[in-house]
Every structure is written in C-alpha cells, then in structure tokens.
Amino acid sequence: MGLNSVEIREVVKYHGTVIAVDHLSLEVRRGEFFSILGPSGSGKTTTLRLLAGFERPDQGEILIEGRSMREVPPNLRPVNLVFQSYALFPHLTVFGNIAFGLEMRRIARAETQSRVHAALGMVKLGSKHDRMPSQLSGGEQQRVALARALVNRPAVVLLDEPLGALDQQLRQEMQVELKAIQEQVGITFIYVTHHQEEALTMSDRVAVMDHGRVLQIGSPQDIYESPVSAFVANFIGLSNLVEGRIASMTDARCTVSVPDLPTILVRRPGGVVEGSQVTVVLRPERLSLARDVHRNGFDNTVPARIDKTIYNGSEMHYLLRLSNSALWKVRVPNSGAEQKRFLNGEAVFVRWNADEGVILSE
Amino acid sequence: MPRRAPLPRLPGWLLMPSLAWLGIFFFIPLLLVLVISFAARGTYGGVEWTFSLANYATLLDPLYLTIFVRSLALALGTTAFCLLLGFPLAYYIARAPLRWQGIWLLLVMIPFWTNFLVRTYAWMFILRTEGLMNTVLMNLGLVASPVEILYTDGAILIGLVYGYLPFMVLPLYAALARLDYSLVEAAWDLYASAWNVFWRVILPLTKPGVIAGCILVFIPSLGAFITPDLLGGARTMMLGNLIQHEYLVVRDWPFGSAISFVLMALVLLGMMVYLEVDRGRGDGRRPSVW
C-alpha cells in the first residue's frame, strides 16, 4: 500500500443540474491532518459525503487505503464521520452512543467496554458514560461525537465543521485538543471548515475549495504566505490587492509600477516576465505606519491618509486612503502608548519590505 | 430542540362547557349502561331491575368466547397489516420533497371525504364472486375459478385494513417527519446494516408514533361493526355486530351492555399494561404518548 490514505481521482458530482464537485483530485497522506477550506457552496461538504459514501460520484473514483470505494456502502467503509450537528442518538446513553459502532461490528463485550472507556478518557468524559446526550453541554456532546468515531479506529475520521456550534473560547480550546488527539492516535483526519483560523492552526495541509474545484493545496504557511489567486488571498486572512505592471526585474526582486502610486519592490517569483500585469498581495499585519518619511531600512514607503480607525483590544485596525484612492487595511499591535496611535484624517506613510509582498501566479 | 414557552393559563370556568357536555352525553349514559348490564331482560324486551352477574357469566359460553377471540385476532391482524403497509408508506412520504408530502398526505386522507358505508359497499363489488378482483385474476389466468373471498374473515381483514390504514399512516408520518435524518446517516456510517438502522435507530425514535398508530387502529377494529356486517355476512360476527344484535334484534339490553363493558375493560386493561411497561423504560418527562 502506498503512502496515501485517501485518493480522489477526477471526481464529478452534480446536484440536479448544479455541479457540486468539479473534476476534483486530491490525495491525503496516512496520518495527516488535512483540511478542506471553502465558503458555503464550495463543494467541501459534498466531498466529505462522497468519502463517507452517502453520495456517489457521477464520474471519477475514490480510493481509501488503496481500495476502490465504488459500490461500497457507508457501513462497509473504513471511515467515520463526525457530524456538524453531532447526530448523537438521543435514546442511547453516552456509553451506548460510543459503543454503537463496535456493537454493529460484533466486537466482544469485554473489548467494547475497555475501548469505550479508553475513548471516553481520551476526550476527558470518563465520568459521564451513563448520561443521556440531552444532559450534556454542547462541548461535551462534541466530544462524544468525536469519541464515537475514534473508538472504531477507522482509517480516516471525517469531520464536518465539528466546532461550528461552539462559542469562540471553547472553539479555540478544542482546536488545540483536537490536534493533540489526532497526533496521539495517528489516524488520518479530513476536516471540513469555512473557518480559516481552524484550518491554519490544526492542519498539516490545507486544500482551498471554491465552486467545486480545488484552488490550492499546501501547508498552512504555503497557503498564507504564497496564495496563488486573489480568492485564496482574500479567503485566507485579510489582504490588500494591488494591480500593477512589472517595470523591471533583478535576480531577486521585481519593480512594479502602480498607477498614481510610487513604484513597489516585490520579491521575484518564478515565471514572470517584464511588462506583464500582476496582482501584488500585501497582508495588513505586515505593513507598518509612521508619521515621518524616514526610510529606516524599509524597501517601500507610500503616503496615505487614515480613513477609519478601529480599536480591537490587542490590535488597531486602520483603513487607509491612498493617493490612487484605493483603500488599504493595516493592522498594528497595540502598545498601550496612546500617542503612538493614529487619528482619523492624519497623513501617514505605509512602509514594508520587498519580501512581505507576494505576486499572485494567476 | 427549541423549547417552547408554556401556554398561558386559562380561567377554570372555560372548562365548564366541555365538562358539562361530556358529563351529560358521555358519562351518565355510560353509567346507565353499566347499571343495565347487571339487570335482566324483561319478557318483551325492556329491562327488569334486578342485580346479578348472570350476563357476564353468559359471556363465558363458547359461542360468545369464539366471537371474542375472532374479534381480537382480526383486530390484531388489522393492526399488524396496517403497520407493515403503513410504515414504508409513511417513511416514503416523510422523506419526499415538502411539496410532495402535502400531496401524498392529501391522497391518504381523501377516502375520509366519502361515507364509510359507501366505501364498504364498493369493496363488496370488488370482492364478490363475479367482482372486479376475480375478473382480473381470471383474465390474467392466475386462477381457474373465482376465489370465494366475500363473506369470509379474509374479506373483513381486507376491509378493516383499508378502513383504518390512514389512522396508522398519519401518526407514523408525524413521528418520521420529526426524525432527524442525520441520525440515520450516523447509524449507517457506524457500520449498521439497513436492518440495524431500522431496528436500532428509526424504530426506537418513532416508537410513540408506532404506538399511537396501533392504538388508533386496534381499538376501532376491535369494535368494528359496519365492515364485518357487510363483508363478513351472516356466518362471521365480531363484537360490534354481537352488541348490535343483542340490542336491536334480540332486544336483550342487559346482555348487550355486559358485552360493551367487557370490550371496554379489555381495551383499558391493554392500555394500562402498556403504560406501566412504558413508564418503567421512559425518561419520565412525557406524561404518555397519547
């Protein structure tokens, strides 16, 4: 068997006349935490349901552990799904819910007992085995749903926005815990979410989907630092997109001329030619602001005027109006020193180094 | 599940009309029937006011016991067939697109728009020896000579199942429409076969609907009277016909009353046993399923 836990080959799925998944191909390695990130309607949930077996591809093929899943119904697939709504059986106790899969596979009673209790321990619910799901909090129900999948030791655990219903704080705690559990059990996780922070913090690799297609697959760092398209750049974090033309190039850098702005220095990617139109991505937190024009070693300095300020506790969010009337977002950590903050209408200089800018390859 | 705010309380006197109605037209007559059941038949019909348990003792006569057993068997059979036919139908309706659910439910209920007596006469035309069913069967070459079905217990069963199927489908549909389908998918995902998905998840979660449907079918079939009268003919009698016979033909009101009370007691006993069993297992929050 190869390294891949899951292979999706040229899969097409229509919902009526609407194409939900459009010639999708991807490979997930064994033991990997793989996220599929996309807005609603991007086909990510359909992809998960195709893997679980609830839907069948109209074209293409899905392999799990090297075995074709064509004609294999959900109950015979080596995968378990953690539902967005948890889908805990309301008429069974926590124990009954977690033991369900083992009972269906006729695992001996003693082994079922010990595996269920081990799973309960793993999700820190050891003392609640005899509760009914309705007696649990949302976070606890989420843990039961996870344990119900893990206890079967499937080849792949599929997770459909499992943290979506939790509040922000619990969500962040669960992100850390989920990643730790995944590393401990070593099972392949395929995690579907529209929440970019979740995908970035937990995943080994992320696939960004839109309109049934994969736009980019890579490590969180690849995706954030080198987005291939404006959609990816905007969907993963905030971005300022600047349209320009490559005026000149050296080995390491490009000079991009932008109408009504000073020229911008950007790191040179592979495969660009002089004179071509390009889009430059500038992340708001990589830009800094100053009142004086001193270069201080920055490669780029552009004048702007503060249009709006938002105090967010840990950061100041500024909206800037540039001389070409574009609006840029800039985020600056709050130092607490009030005189360092900028006021509405104030004239400032935006400064950054050439390496902070990324030229989109599309 | 969203918790609804409790309804505001109403002043108690608003109960008076319904209490008065039930008291005058239901409770007092029922009491009268009970009293009469201990009396004796007068020589020319009418009631002779004595007290004895003779009417109840008469019921132990094999002649009447047979009718009891036949009624019970037919009512149980009707309930079983309605459940077997109704569950897949209700499941199909509950899983259909919303617009179609309305159309299907309408089709299930349309028979109620016509008089039950008329519909039962229609069954006589279908089932009789030269009727629609035999014509079709013989033309298809499935049978050589007409099947004698009218005026048998089989005809009664067909008529009862036909008549009470909607009472099974509607509560089943209500229960299945509330069922969260992701639970079915969860069971399927957790290695359950189709049989286990049904047996371990769908059935337990729709049990209140199943029980409500069974009660709604079983009770009226046990006391059915038009269907056995028309489709069963003179040879087969059910409790409903026996009561009618005693009251209107033999004019033995006390004996008819005794049969009525035993029938009622049987139904109540069944209910109480069920409620006792269910309370032991339930979560204690629901007062009862009906």
- pLDDT of B12 > 70? The answer is yes
> Is the minimum CB–CB distance between A219 and chain B shorter than 8 Å?
no
pLDDT, tens digit (0-9, with 9 covering 90-100), for A183-223:
999 999 999 999 998 999 999 999 999 999 999 999 999 99
Q: Are B209 and B171 in contact (CB under 8 A)?
A: yes
CA distance A23 to chain B (A): 25
The pLDDT, as a whole number, for residue A223 is 93
> Is the minimum CB–CB distance between B64 and chain A shorter than 8 Å?
no
A87:B193 CB<8 A: no
Here the ipTM equals: 0.86
The pLDDT, as a whole number, for residue B285 is 46
Q: Which residues of A touch B200 (CB under 8 A)?
A: 100
The mean pLDDT value for B47-66 works out to 89
CA distances from B28 to A14, A70, A197, B35, B253 (A): 66, 69, 72, 11, 17
The mean pLDDT value for B238-264 works out to 90
A83:B186 CB<8 A: yes
Q: How confident is the model at residue B131 (pLDDT cuts 50, 70, 90)?
A: confident
How many CB atoms are located within 10 Å of the residue B99 CB? Answer: 7
A83:B182 CB<8 A: yes
Q: Which residue has the tokens 């540039």?
A: A322
Q: Which residues of B touch A104 (CB under 8 A)?
A: 190-193, 196
The residue of chain B with its CA nearest to that of A100 is: B190
Task: Please choose, from the candidates A335, A334, A350, A230, the residue with its C-alpha nearest in 3D space to the C-alpha of residue A301.
Answer: A350
The mean pLDDT value for B263-290 works out to 68
The pLDDT, as a whole number, for residue B9 is 84
> Is the minimum CB–CB distance between A154 and chain B shorter than 8 Å?
no
Contacts of A284 (CB under 8 A, 6+ apart): A238, A239, A240, A317, A328, A329, A330, A331
B190:A76 CB<8 A: no
The pLDDT, as a whole number, for residue A362 is 64
The mean pLDDT value for A24-32 works out to 95
* Interface test mutation site (partner B, options A46, A100, A130, A159, max chain B beta carbons within 10 A): A100
> Is the minimum CB–CB distance between A69 and chain B shorter than 8 Å?
no
- pLDDT of A2 > 80? The answer is no
Cα atoms in the 13 Å half-sphere on the side-chain side of B99: 0
Contacts of B8 (CB under 8 A, 6+ apart): none
The mean pLDDT value for B53-66 works out to 90
Identify each DSSP E strand in chain B by its residue range. Answer: 40-41, 47-48
The pLDDT, as a whole number, for residue B281 is 55
User: How many interface pairs between A and B have CB atoms less than 8 angstroms apart?
Assistant: 59
* Interface test mutation site (partner A, options B190, B203, B285, max chain A beta carbons within 10 A): B190
B196:A104 CB<8 A: yes
Contacts of A188 (CB under 8 A, 6+ apart): A5, A6, A28, A29, A30, A31, A32, A34, A155, A156, A157
* Interface test mutation site (partner A, options B179, B182, B191, max chain A beta carbons within 10 A): B191
Q: Of residues A71 and B5, which shows the higher confidence score?
A: A71
- Residues A40 and A23: their CA atoms lie apart, in Å, by 18
Q: Are A196 and A37 in contact (CB under 8 A)?
A: yes
* Amino acid, single-letter form, for residue A187: I
Which candidate from A75, A85, A88 shows the least CB-CB separation from B188? A75
pLDDT, tens digit (0-9, with 9 covering 90-100), for B63-113:
899 999 999 999 999 999 999 999 999 999 999 999 999 999 999 999 888
Tokens standing for residue B60: 């132990």
Q: Are A68 and A62 in contact (CB under 8 A)?
A: yes
Contacts of B223 (CB under 8 A, 6+ apart): B238, B239, B240, B243, B263
Rounded to an integer, what is the distance from CA B143 to the centroid of its chain?
33
In this prediction, what percent of chain A has a pLDDT beyond 90? 73
Poorest-pLDDT segment among A204-213, A280-289, B129-138: B129-138
* Interface test mutation site (partner B, options A54, A56, A91, max chain B beta carbons within 10 A): A91
- pLDDT of A46 > 50? The answer is yes
B189:A79 CB<8 A: yes
Q: Of residues B204 and B141, which shows the higher confidence score?
A: B204
pLDDT, tens digit (0-9, with 9 covering 90-100), for B16-46:
999 999 999 999 999 999 999 999 888 877 7
Cα atoms in the 13 Å half-sphere on the side-chain side of A237: 24
- pLDDT of A302 > 50? The answer is yes
Q: What is the pTM of this model?
A: 0.84
3-state secondary structure of B230: helix
The pLDDT, as a whole number, for residue B6 is 78
- pLDDT of B4 > 70? The answer is no
A89:B193 CB<8 A: no
Q: Which residues of A touch B183 (CB under 8 A)?
A: 87, 89-90
Average pLDDT score, chain A: 92
